């Protein structure tokens, strides 16, 4: 899953590889977590990032490390903001054709209108 790629440089590298693999007009469909989704960890992670100056320690805005309930392994997840996601895709030669907010933990699977709710479902096209 794209949101589990642990650094912006690696995410760009992956998107450029996808770009090279697509024909002109080819589509990339994926979903990622929304940093501003009030029903998810993103807003809390953002507060911790700012309060603890995590950027000075090498973390990127939206980075989260977590353990599943009962799990022993630490996992990584990156939460995205819409402008960050659009800029990243554009930098890698992909244009966002459609970006939807889809309920994940709240109203799962439903299309949402609020910008601070739901994950992002993205349809990007190779220019």
List Cβ neighbours of 40 (8 Å cut-off, separation of 6 or more).
33, 34, 79, 104, 105, 119
User: Rounded mean pLDDT of the chain?
Assistant: 96
Q: Please, how many CA atoms are within 13 Å of residue 78, restricted to the half-sphere of its CB? A: 19
Quote the pTM value. Answer: 0.91
Residue 91 backbone zone (phi > 0: left; psi -120 to 50: alpha; other: beta): alpha
- Give the integer Cα–Cα distance in Å for 72 and 76: 13
What topology is assigned to 2-126 in CATH? Rossmann fold (3.40.50)
List, for residues 95-124, the tens digit of each pLDDT value: 999 999 999 989 999 999 999 999 999 999
């Amino acid at each position: 899953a794209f949101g589990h790629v642990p650094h912006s440089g690696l995410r760009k590298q992956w998107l450029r590889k996808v770009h090279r693999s697509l024909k002109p007009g080819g589509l990339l469909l994926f979903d990622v977590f929304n940093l501003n989704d009030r029903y998810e960890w993103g807003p809390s992670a953002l507060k911790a990032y700012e309060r603890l100056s995590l950027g000075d320690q090498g973390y990127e805005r939206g980075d989260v490390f977590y353990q599943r309930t009962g799990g022993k392994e630490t996992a990584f997840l990156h939460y995205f903001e819409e402008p960050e996601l659009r800029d990243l895709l554009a930098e890698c030669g992909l244009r966002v054709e459609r970006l939807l907010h889809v309920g994940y933990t709240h109203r799962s699977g439903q299309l949402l209108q609020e910008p601070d709710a739901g994950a992002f479902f993205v349809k990007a096209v190779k220019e």
